[in-house]
């Protein structure tokens, strides 16, 4: 048995030479000074492989078109076992790879390892850094939530500012007019088809160059006897890789990656923010205005990249000890302070709302659980400006009683009578009669019966689109055929979980002509104004499953 195994081994070795190639790779001679400071390159390569692996797994359950992209990602997160972990690994892996690539670069820079004859290795490395950032930029759009959409709007507009090339870049990215299917397809194509082979090619070239010139020794190290790459340095690389992976895995498990609302090009309240490693560029842009803006958006970053590429040609001295590279150290410190300061300023200027904008799909928020009728009550509650006299918990100075207190909630019939003639039910009250129809008062009462101390803030914050959407739902009598949150009829399909079943575009087209989208449908067409259509669709999409 053992002899046969050796026979197979010899055959493979003779025909392919793989074993001697691996041996040659592992037993490469490295300087005696090699050690822990040189592990970052291996960690970066490992993280790239994790990204490729998790990226492919995500792609197995992902539809790369706007709308569907969002729904399929939501499917990955909520329906598939391990889906949240895969996305977490891919998301945090992207951040981590940026960190590790920069650490790798800092090490090489501080040690002066880019010096002759290793200039080409350094330059290929700078291009690899740019590719890493390009993944971040293109991948940012792929969830197609508000964050993705608005971030990309800004990105493409910045690209458009580039001198001479701007308009062409914009056209290449499909960003003329609005961000839509074309931009999405291009970003996806870049992210999964073009960037990976380019990265692999440059990584191979980078490693080839490292091997060609040998790992950079410390000065005075040349005379020392060399050691082998395997197993000592491989062990150190492996330990570093394991630590990096452990951190990544814990983040993927513990830190939830948000998926915000479906991208909404009409959402004027959304404040876009780029990924954290781009925040310094974002903040720097604020320092320039008017015709100078292009300096902050294109010229300075372009010059920085050029400077980075040219580092080996600017600093051409002999290799010296790290401790004597004061200028390089000062340079790194200056860059770190600049980056840190800009990033901190950007974080401080980020309003809290955008941080809290993520929709929590684990449990429906309070307003999502209301029936359309109760939601409509909120509309009248706001229209009649009830809070001008009534407290909603907290404010004791209000004239009328606190509406969140359960003790003042009578039954609906009492409330409707009270709304019509307040003094008849509560003699001496200063409340004016409410001028609404019975059906409208009914909705108002339905809402007030649901109100309590715990949900008051949440219900008070129910977004306007949802309230308006519910109002449209009510006035068009959708509940005569459909079911929402357990109320209504079962003639048509229940509408909870609609966002999981259909895209926004489909639903909007369906309103205009149901029979065209679902042959044989008995639903009549609804000609809604664009704003109404949007509110109603958004409301239905926000319903819990």
For 352, list phi and psi in degrees, rounded to 5.
Answer: -60, -35
57 is a site residue for another protein (CB under 8 A)? yes
249 is a site residue for another protein (CB under 8 A)? yes
Contact with another protein (CB under 8 A) among 45, 207, 245, 479: 245
Contact with another protein (CB under 8 A) among 51, 72, 138, 537: 72
**Can you spell out the DSSP letters for 343-359?**
HHHHHHHS-HHHHH---
Binding mask 202-241 for another protein (x = CB under 8 A): ----------------------xx-----xx-xx--xx-x
**Distance between CA atoms of residues 51 and 351, nearest Å:** 31
Residue 487 pairs with which residues in a beta bridge? 484
| Interface region with another protein, contact rule CB under 8 A, candidates 71-79, 349-357, 432-440, 534-542 | 71-79
Where on the phi/psi map is residue 272: left (φ > 0), alpha (ψ -120 to 50), or beta?
beta
Number of residues binding to another protein, judged by CB under 8 A = 40
Per-residue DSSP letter, 38: G
| Window 26 to 55, contacts with another protein (CB under 8 A) | 32, 50, 53
Query: Is the Cβ of residue 62 or residue 187 nearer to another protein in the bound state?
Result: 62
Query: Is the Cβ of residue 71 or residue 152 nearer to another protein in the bound state?
Result: 71
| Interface region with another protein, contact rule CB under 8 A, candidates 4-12, 58-66, 279-287, 438-446 | 58-66
385: exposed, middle or buried (C-beta count within 10 Å: 0-12, 13-18, 19+)? exposed
**Distance between CA atoms of residues 272 and 281, nearest Å:** 14
Residue 434's alpha-carbon distances to 386, 420, 474, 497, in angstroms, are: 10, 6, 20, 36
Contact with another protein (CB under 8 A) among 156, 502, 535, 537: 502
Residues ≥6 apart with Cβ < 8 Å to 27: 228, 229, 230
505 is a site residue for another protein (CB under 8 A)? no
474 is a site residue for another protein (CB under 8 A)? no
Asked if residue 436 lies in contact with residue 499, where contact means CB atoms within 8 angstroms, the answer is no
Residue 359 CB, shortest distance to another protein, in Å, is 16
| Cα 394–Cα 399–Cα 400 angle in degrees, nearest 5 | 80
**Can you spell out the DSSP letters for 111-138?**
HTTTSTT-HHHHHHHHHHHHHHHHHHHH
259 is a site residue for another protein (CB under 8 A)? no
Query: Is the Cβ of residue 417 or residue 521 nearer to another protein in the bound state?
Result: 521
Query: Is the Cβ of residue 401 or residue 493 nearer to another protein in the bound state?
Result: 493
Contact with another protein (CB under 8 A) among 28, 45, 75, 449: 75
| Interface region with another protein, contact rule CB under 8 A, candidates 80-88, 174-182, 329-337, 342-350 | 80-88
**Distance between CA atoms of residues 3 and 237, nearest Å:** 35
- Chain residues binding another protein by CB under 8 A are 32, 50, 53, 57, 60-61, 63, 68, 71-72, 74-75, 78-83, 85-86, 89, 224-225, 231-232, 234-235, 238-239, 241-242, 245, 249, 493, 500-502, 518-520
């Amino acid at each position: 048995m053992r002899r046969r195994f050796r026979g197979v081994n010899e055959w493979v070795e003779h025909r392919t030479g793989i074993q001697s190639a691996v041996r040659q790779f592992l037993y490469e001679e490295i300087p005696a000074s090699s050690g822990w400071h040189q592990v970052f390159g291996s960690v970066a390569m490992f993280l790239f492989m994790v990204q490729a692996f998790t990226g492919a797994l995500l792609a197995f359950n992902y539809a790369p078109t706007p709308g569907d992209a969002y729904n399929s990602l939501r499917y990955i997160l909520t329906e598939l076992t391990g889906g949240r972990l895969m996305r977490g690994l891919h998301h945090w892996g992207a951040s981590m790879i940026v960190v590790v690539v920069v650490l790798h670069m800092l090490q090489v820079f501080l040690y002066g390892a880019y010096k002759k004859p290793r200039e080409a290795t350094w330059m290929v490395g700078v291009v690899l850094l740019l590719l890493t950032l390009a993944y971040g930029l293109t991948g940012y759009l792929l969830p197609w939530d508000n964050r993705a959409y608005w971030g990309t709007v800004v990105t493409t507009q910045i690209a458009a500012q580039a001198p001479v090339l701007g308009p062409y870049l914009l056209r290449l990215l499909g960003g003329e007019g609005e961000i839509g299917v074309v931009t999405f397809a291009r970003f996806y194509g870049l992210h999964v088809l073009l960037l990976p082979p380019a990265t692999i090619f440059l990584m191979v070239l980078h490693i080839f160059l490292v091997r060609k010139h040998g790992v950079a020794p410390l000065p005075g190290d040349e005379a020392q006897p060399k050691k082998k790459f395997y197993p000592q340095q491989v062990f150190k690389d492996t330990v570093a890789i394991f630590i990096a992976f452990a951190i990544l895995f814990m983040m993927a498990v513990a830190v939830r990656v948000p998926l915000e609302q479906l991208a909404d090009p009409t959402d004027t309240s959304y404040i876009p923010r780029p990924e954290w490693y781009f925040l310094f560029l974002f903040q720097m842009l604020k320092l320039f205005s008017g015709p100078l803006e292009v300096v902050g958006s294109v010229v300075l970053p372009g010059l920085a990249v050029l400077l980075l590429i040219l580092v080996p040609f600017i600093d051409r001295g002999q290799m010296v000890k790290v401790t004597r590279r004061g200028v390089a150290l000062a340079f790194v410190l200056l860059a770190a302070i600049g980056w840190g300061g800009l990033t901190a300023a950007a974080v401080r200027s980020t309003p809290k709302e955008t941080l809290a904008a993520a929709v929590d799909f684990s449990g429906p928020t309070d307003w999502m659980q209301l029936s359309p009728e109760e939601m409509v009550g909120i509309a009248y509650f706001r229209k009649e400006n009830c809070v001008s006299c009534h407290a909603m918990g907290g404010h004791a100075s209000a004239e009328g009683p606190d509406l969140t207190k359960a003790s003042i909630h009578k039954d609906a019939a009492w409330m409707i009578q009270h709304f019509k003639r307040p003094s008849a039910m509560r003699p001496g009250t200063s409340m004016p009669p409410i001028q609404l129809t019975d059906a409208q008062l009914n909705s108002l009462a339905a809402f007030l019966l649901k109100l309590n101390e715990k949900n008051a803030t949440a219900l008070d914050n129910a977004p306007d689109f949802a309230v308006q959407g519910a109002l449209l739902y009510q006035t068009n009598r959708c509940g005569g055929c459909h079911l929402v949150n357990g109320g209504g009829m079962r003639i048509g399909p229940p509408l909870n979980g609609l966002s999981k079943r259909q895209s926004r575009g489909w639903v909007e087209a369906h309103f205009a002509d149901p029979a065209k989208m679902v042959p044989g449908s008995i639903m009549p067409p609804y000609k809604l104004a664009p704003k109404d259509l949007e509110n109603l669709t958004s409301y239905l999409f926000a319903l819990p499953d």
